[in-house]
Chains A and B, each alone.
With several copies, the nearest count.
Chain A
């Protein structure tokens, strides 16, 4: 059972799902079956949880953009339709024990997962500043709510139709400096996360990024959602965005190598491992 509404370029969809609402922590995502019982689309679609509310025993709200057939189908759901939804999934945003200054950076619908996080952070006494961006005004999600919640809120659009003309990363350094931020949280397109991580490195503060990789299962069995991440031991491994992520420490993600197998990753080809040598091991 659910309700739907349009929010600018996005669709917001609220589902009664007490089990998910109860266990939810900011940064979690869910997967949704699309197309109904006779669907030709066997893969679930992943969506960040935007909000959970206690109504009806617990509801979950998702915010999504129509991209292809699955989201087009979702956009046509009506009140009282039922939805097959699995969650909460993934590693949520780690939150600091102490009250620190946090900048929350969101791109496009990536902003959606930042408000529950902001809530939690503020409950712990953290200061929260928002930087939200998108290509155009109608695709900036949550500006009003950010203005209500954030100490400051900076908006950016690439076409200048709202806030500053430019990208999130253009506005970020000033916001960090002004807020004297201790940590950054970011959710949005991969290019933005890469940029945000670079800014964090300049300021030498930690950054938690929530990545988006195509996923077939969402709970760790299919191995389709991997990206190269540097482990505690300094070794790069192809790790699963769905269970080891989607939230990673930004500096651990090898953004420039996403979509490749870095030659120095554990088990990378080139080492004789992938050539099929029987008794070799690639220690990456």
Chain B
């Protein structure tokens, strides 16, 4: 089940989602992480970050709200310790980066540019833009494009740059298009939409940070919708899908919508083996359906199988 992330070949389409697989070492206790298509790291920042106060976690119906705040060791410690360990384990490492300004993303790219073992760079655009009153990059096509262009210009030409988008944009296609125009080789969607929970006993926000990112099965319909819209508008752009995948059927749903790789995030919290299980289930489902090549399934739901009147699809963009 080979697949391509831009020109980079992955042995299979299942990866971990950024920020959901620790340093890689935790999963490696359970299985050989080189069996995954790739391991996507947590989003690396320039400086070490302590993250947000606790509570960082609240459960919602079929979802998880988290506000970790990009806790991590900073790029230097990452390059010194985490990345080499991933390489030693034979894992393909996609490095996610996060910053508060174009300059910070650029500086991160510069550090990564010479580092061995970087299969691709994923640009986490769900970060507050310090220069824009903390407005999140991913909601602004121009700001997103600027970050992507800077990273693309800095990274080695043979390392794909993947822009990661969030569903709470007014027009996800506009952001996607801006990123591709800015030089993104692929797109990853979706990051967590902003959510919140209030504890009705303490009568205060359940998370110390107030709001948090919503992940898990609850957001899968948003992920499918974003993938569908972006694949329809930009059929040539490779998409990495994520959001609420915990079974092979879920992964197939994202593939049919347009994803050529699928990341597993929250499901790993429930089951460290979730990635391998999803992969096996996906393989079985594709076999059952008679696919010879994985690529034939990618975006298939967009191509009507002849005239099937019960499934005529008119895509006017209104929820009602």
Contacts and interface: CB of A to CB of B under 8 A. Distances in A.
A–B contact (CB under 8 angstroms) = yes
B115 interface: no
A258 B310 CA distance: 7
B269 A260 contact: no
A44 to B, nearest CB: 6
A278 B101 contact: yes
Contact of B56 (A44, A224, A284): A224
B269 A223 contact: no
B270 A224 contact: no
A42 B309 contact: no
Contact of B269 (A41, A44, A237, A281): A44
Interface string B53-86: 1111101011110101001101010000000000
B181 interface: no
Interface in B77-133: 99-101, 103-104, 106-107, 128, 130
A271 interface: yes
Interface stretch (B18-26, B172-180, B222-230, B255-263): B18-26
A42 to B, nearest CB: 5
A269 interface: yes
B71 A272 contact: no
A267 B47 CA distance: 7
A56 B194 CA distance: 47
A43 B57 CA distance: 10
Interface string B26-50: 1101000000000000100111111
Select the residue from A217, A268, A269, A281 with max chain B CB neighbours within 10 A.
A217
Given A238-B71, A278-B104, A221 B27 contact: yes
A9 interface: no
Main secondary structure of the interface of A (DSSP, over half): loop
Contacts of A238: 50-51, 71
Contacts of A269: 50
A280 B66 contact: no
Contact of B54 (A214, A278, A282): A214
B47 A272 contact: yes
A175 interface: no
Nearest to A265: B50
A277 B68 contact: no
B309 A260 contact: yes
* Interface residue range, chain B: 35 or more
B276 to A, nearest CB: 15
B100 A41 contact: no
Contact of A276 (B56, B130, B208): B130
A144 B55 CA distance: 35
A280 B46 contact: yes
Interface string A214-248: 11110111111111000000000110000100000
A217 B269 contact: yes
Contact of A42 (B42, B47, B56, B216): B216
Contacts of A119: none
Interface of A: 33, 40-44, 86, 213-217, 219-227, 237-238, 243, 258-261, 265-269, 271-282, 284
Closest 7 CB pairs of A and B: A276-B100, A273-B47, A259-B310, A267-B48, A221-B22, A217-B269, A267-B50
Given A40-B62, A224-B55, A275-B100, 15 more contacts: A43-B270, A86-B271, A213-B54, A216-B57, A216-B266, A219-B29, A222-B20, A226-B54, A237-B50, A259-B53, A267-B47, A267-B49, A276-B104, A278-B101, A284-B48
25 contacts: A43-B57, A86-B271, A214-B54, A214-B56, A214-B57, A216-B64, A216-B269, A217-B270, A221-B272, A223-B68, A224-B57, A225-B54, A226-B51, A237-B50, A259-B55, A259-B208, A259-B309, A259-B312, A260-B312, A267-B49, A267-B50, A267-B74, A275-B100, A277-B47, A278-B107
